[in-house]
């Protein structure tokens, strides 16, 4: 698929879901910075994507119901009422939207504790996804959420050892958390190679 076509598709998808209109301009300003990083031909598959457009602004609690898996909408765990207090433990671009590139769902880490997967991912020059980035991945590729191939989003953290994750519950996308030291055979660890800011943000390029 061509880069410009996929960027427009992802932008249109987010706008149709009700994300702020400002992301359209940010998406357009991402075209050249993205082209410099990912090239002209891109892919968006369940196992990963060349890039994912990430909207900035709305809290996670407002984004979760926008997830779709078939006819089912996303749900938030009743044990995760403080989800909006979680934030990135790494630097993300400041713009209406940015892109994560080289996204991997991370099923190779199914059955591996997030705390043990973290150094392996870092040694590869990659970083875990934030919860917002994981949700954006599923907006772009809804069928990336598969039974026994769900994932942690370990770059969003609170003040304790909980790690956010996205899985399937009652056939719907579900956002909850797991302890950093626990492992689950059906939860991997999603990651990305870099983050790219739109040119209008004054910081174009990979982070």
Strand partners, 102: none
User: In this structure, are residues 173 and 166 in contact, taking their beta carbons and an 8 Å threshold?
Assistant: yes
Q: Which residue has the higher pLDDT, 199 or 19?
A: 19
Global pTM value = 0.94
Question: How many residues would you count in the chain?
Answer: 207
pLDDT score recorded for residue 199: 87
Residues whose CB is less than 8 angstroms from the CB of residue 158 and which lie 6 or more positions away in sequence, other chains included? 82, 85, 86, 87
User: In this structure, are residues 53 and 99 in contact, taking their beta carbons and an 8 Å threshold?
Assistant: yes
Q: What residue segments make up the domains of the chain, in order of their start?
A: 3-206
pLDDT digits 0-9 by tens, 110-131:
999 999 999 999 999 999 999 9
Q: CA dihedral in degrees (55, 58, 62, 68; nearest 10)?
A: -10
Residue 101 has pLDDT above 50, yes or no: yes
Residue 171 has pLDDT above 80, yes or no: yes
pLDDT score recorded for residue 159: 96
Residue 206 has pLDDT above 70, yes or no: no
Distance CA(112)–CA(172), nearest Å, equals: 24
């Amino acid at each position: 698929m061509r880069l410009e076509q996929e960027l427009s598709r992802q932008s249109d998808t987010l706008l149709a879901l009700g994300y702020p209109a400002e992301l359209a301009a940010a998406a357009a300003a991402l075209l050249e910075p993205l082209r410099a990083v990912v090239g002209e031909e891109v892919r968006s598959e369940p196992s990963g994507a060349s890039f994912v457009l990430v909207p900035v602004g709305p809290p996670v609690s407002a984004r979760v119901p926008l997830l779709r898996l078939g006819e089912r909408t996303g749900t938030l765990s009743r044990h995760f009422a403080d989800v909006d207090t979680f934030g990135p433990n790494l630097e993300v671009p400041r713009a209406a939207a940015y892109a994560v590139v080289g996204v991997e769902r991370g099923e190779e880490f199914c059955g591996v504790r997030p705390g043990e997967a973290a150094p392996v991912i870092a040694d590869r020059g990659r970083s875990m996804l934030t919860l917002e980035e994981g949700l954006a991945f599923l907006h772009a590729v809804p069928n990336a959420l598969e039974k026994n191939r769900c994932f942690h989003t370990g770059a969003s953290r609170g003040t304790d050892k909980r790690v956010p994750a996205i899985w399937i519950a009652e056939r719907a996308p579900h956002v909850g958390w797991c302890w950093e030291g626990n492992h689950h055979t059906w939860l991997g660890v999603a990651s990305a190679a870099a983050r790219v800011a739109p040119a209008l943000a004054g910081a174009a390029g990979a982070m």
